[in-house]
Structures are given as C-alpha cells and as structure tokens.
Structure 1
Amino acid sequence: MRPVLILTHAPHEGPGLIAPVLDAPVRVRTVVSSQDPVLPGLDEVSGVVVMGGAMDADDDRYPGLVAEKRLLAEAVAADVPVLGVCLGMQLLALALGSELQRRHGTEIGFAPVDVVGDDPVLGQLGERPSVLHWHNDAVTLPSGATLLASTATTPVQAFRAGSALGVQFHPELEPRMLDLWLTTPEMVDELADDEIEAIRADGAKYLPDLAPAARAMVDGFAEQVRARG
C-alpha cells in the first residue's frame, strides 16, 4: 500500500490519533519554511493529511505553504483522499479558490460545533459534538463545496470538496497532545492561567466521548485511503 503523506507545521501539532487509525504507512514531512520543497507525486501516495499550525494560511514568510496549496489543489483534481485540519483546512480552502479572513473571530477551547451537512466521514462525530477549537482566522466556503459544520463565530467549520474533507477544529486530539499544548509557550502565552485550567478540565470532560467518535471519523477517511491503495 502506498503511504499517506502527512504535512505538519509545528513539532507539537502532529497527527495525534490520526496516524494509528489510518492503519497504513505514513510519511510525515514539514516543509513550511522550504523555498522549493520536494514533495512526493500523487501517484506515490494513497492520501494526504495536512495538520495545524500557528501561521496564517496566506503568510508569504512561509514559502512551503505555496507548495502545500498546489499539492492540495492537484490532489482534489485527481480524486486523492485529503483531510485538512485547522490550518490544513484553511490551506485546502485557499487551494480551491477561497479567501482567508484573518482575525475573523477567536475560538479557543472546547465548545459545540453544529454539523449541518450529511457526510459519511464527518457524520461519525454526531450532530453537535463538543470539540477543541484553537484559531482566529476563518475561510469562505470554496465554490462547489458542501458546508458540513458551523458555529456562530466561524460559519465554515467543515466542508467537503470531492475527495477532500476540511475541518477547522481538532479531531486529532488525544489527552497527551492536549497536555503538550497546554505546556507549550507558543500555544498558551496569550492565555490566562484560569483559561488554561478550564481547557484542561474540559479535556477531561469531553475527550473520553470525543476520541472514539474522532477515531470513527478518521476510520471513514481511512476507508477512502485503503480504497485508493
């Protein structure tokens, strides 16, 4: 089976529970600062996963993002399974012609998201799951894409565009990853101590139910990956 390409943008924002659920070989790359990154051809991979990061999706200080967006556009055109998470969703949206709305609205912490579309992969999370949000940028819905989830602050929380699924929130989260985030200065420098503790407490409350649903969601994506082989 061909490997799944996983693109990351920060050491603490890895694939979390996604990689083991894929049950496939994975190839993790970080090319965000590369001027001319060498990425595998789409005929070499069975799927593409793009994770989160603190940078803006259109920030030209990170030239590797241009190559990521080009790869994502090509993957959708070639019907290659794609999963974009947080920054990964924004890169996917921009690759498909959307606009980035910088500082549109801050969402940090666990809160419900309304699942508004019928999708066999995202639908595994349920109708109104409480998920971890950690962003302040948003995107417009790509032309021809189907809106799948929304909040009052961020109208486009998830969408489907052919073979690609983008989610603004963080289904990859595991307790150890949450602990890492809450002790990483880059993540929490602008949060007060009580905000950090509230996220920690909410993680203990919501992750026991969310993680199995997230694994089921990722397994739905994995089925698409296995079908490509």
Structure 2
Amino acid sequence: MRVLIFQHTAGEHPASFTDHIAAAGDSAHVVHLYKGEAIPDLALFDAAIVMGGPMDVWEEEAHPWLRPEKRAIAAWVESGRAYLGVCLGHQLLVEAMGGSCAKMAVPEVGVMPMMLTEAGCADAVLSRLPGANVGPVRVMQWHGVEAITLPEGTTLLAENENCPVQAIRVGARAWGVQFHPEITDDLCAYWMTDPGNRAAAIEWLGSAVAADQFAADSAAHVPTALQNSAALYAGLRAAALEG
C-alpha cells in the first residue's frame, strides 16, 4: 500500500507512523510542503496522512501552499479514499470540507483524557484505541485552535471538556484527530527545536521553563502513544484496503 504524507514543518514529521508503515510492508511518500515541494498525482496513492504544524489553518498569506493543500484534501476525501489528519491535519480536513476552525480561549497542552462518543466506540478506526470502550483515553495535546463548525456528513467520535471536537469522521473514510498520537522518544524535545513550535509552547504555557518541562514529561506517555498510533494506522490501512 502507498501512503501519501503531507508535512508542514521540519519539527512535526510522521514519527511513529513511519515505523508502522514500514512494519506493514507499505511505502510512504512525504511531501515537505514548507519547502515548496509539489503535491504529486493523488491517483498514485492508497491512503493519506496529514501531519500537524505551528501555523494556523487560515494563514494562507504566510503559507500559500495551504491553498493547494486544502484543494488536494477535498479532492482526496471526495474520492472516498482513506485519510487521517493529525492536529493541523484534522483542522485542514474540517476547513477543506466546508467547516470552520477558530482560536481557543485557552490552548490545550499536555497529556489529557478524552472520551469516545457512542459513534466513536463503534467506529472502525477509533474503536481500536486501547481501552476506548471502557473509559477515558489519554492522549497528547498541543493546539490552540479547534474545530467550531463541522462539515456536512461529519460524525463526532471523541470529545473532552477543553475541546469538544477531539476526533471526527467525515463521510465514510476520512478521519481527523485533534491530538498527537505520533510521538516517540524525545519527539517533543525535537519539536522545541522548531522556532515556531517553541514560541507557541512558551506563549501557551507561560515560560520557557514550563515549555521544556512539558517536553521532558512527554516521555512517560510514549508507550501509550505508540499503542494509539499503531491502532490508528491499522484502522486506516484496513479502510484503505477495503476501499
């Protein structure tokens, strides 16, 4: 299976998804949009994963590649092929399909719980998360924007008090998750090497010390995150092969 990946900044790469793709015997083609790389022929791929980034979904003047990316996402989803959006990739799915996003009053940063909805517990992908049907699922959050208006045909799959739209499915095979399931050892520390990410963390958490502590504390969550990303990729892969 061939997986198309959109990457928006050096610091937020596919991380654990790279290992899951290789372990399944699949191949990945990463498009570094922030470097000006062109979007390839979508017909060459079976599934798409769109990663996060420090930019906001509406910052098209500062990041003009957002416009063709949104068009590509809309075309991909309308074709009925399997899609997984992570954080910014989730927000891009919302906007590309006719919904809207806005800044949060209080950014959501850290390892926090979310609950699957009834639809989420029955979903082909989200229901695979370990413990999804028995209680809260703990996930890594790092975002200051949230989905406000959902596209037509969207199913809400997970929520929490801080951000009511944690995971969605648009149509039959397009999933978006607001959280970061892809983290591996030292990834959050690596994120901090990206100036945009580090500036956002300091602003949201109040100090450089708090931002560095967040990166250090993320290590304890890595085993759970690896289970979550493996489950999500397995579900995405099954959906792609069924399609």
The SS at the match of 2:109 is strand
* 1:61-82 deviation per Cα after TM superposition (whole angstroms, max 9, x unaligned): 2111111111111111111110
Give the aligned partner of residue 125 of structure 2. Answer: 121
Q: 1:38 to 1:53 in 2, by over 3 A?
A: same
Counterpart contact for 2:8–2:51, Cα < 8 Å? yes
Matching residue's letter, 1:216: A
Give the aligned partner of residue 80 of structure 1. Answer: 81
State yes or no: 1:188 paired with 2:192.
no
State yes or no: 1:148 paired with 2:157.
yes
* 1:182-205 deviation per Cα after TM superposition (whole angstroms, max 9, x unaligned): 45443233142145324522x233
Give the aligned partner of residue 223 of structure 1. Answer: 238
Give the aligned partner of residue 189 of structure 2. Answer: 179
Matching residue's letter, 1:164: A
The SS at the match of 1:134 is strand
* 1:160-180 deviation per Cα after TM superposition (whole angstroms, max 9, x unaligned): 012100001101111131231
Q: 1:198 to 1:28 in 2, by over 3 A?
A: closer
Q: TM-score, normalised by structure 1?
A: 0.89
State yes or no: 1:135 paired with 2:137.
no
Give the aligned partner of residue 42 of structure 2. Answer: 42
Counterpart contact for 1:89–1:167, Cα < 8 Å? yes
Distance 1:81 1:166 in 2: 11
Distance 1:46 1:216 in 2: 18
Matching residue's letter, 1:187: N
Matching residue's letter, 1:14: H
| RMSD of equivalent CA atoms | 2.0
TM alignment of 1:3-14, pairs within 5 A? 3-14=2-13
The SS at the match of 2:186 is helix
Q: TM-score, normalised by structure 2?
A: 0.84
Larger deviation, residues 146-155 vs 207-216: 207-216
Q: Which sections of structure 1, spanning at least 5 residues, go unmatched? A: none
Distance 1:159 1:75 in 2: 16
* 1:87-107 deviation per Cα after TM superposition (whole angstroms, max 9, x unaligned): 001001001100121244300
TM alignment of 1:37-76, pairs within 5 A? 38-61=38-61, 62-76=63-77
Q: 1:33 to 1:65 in 2, by over 3 A?
A: farther
Give the aligned partner of residue 27 of structure 1. Answer: 29
Cα displacement (A) at 1:38: 3.4
Distance 1:104 1:163 in 2: 31
Q: Which sections of structure 2, spanning at least 5 residues, go unmatched? A: none
- Which structure has greater strand proportion? 2
Counterpart contact for 1:124–1:214, Cα < 8 Å? no
Distance 1:42 1:124 in 2: 27
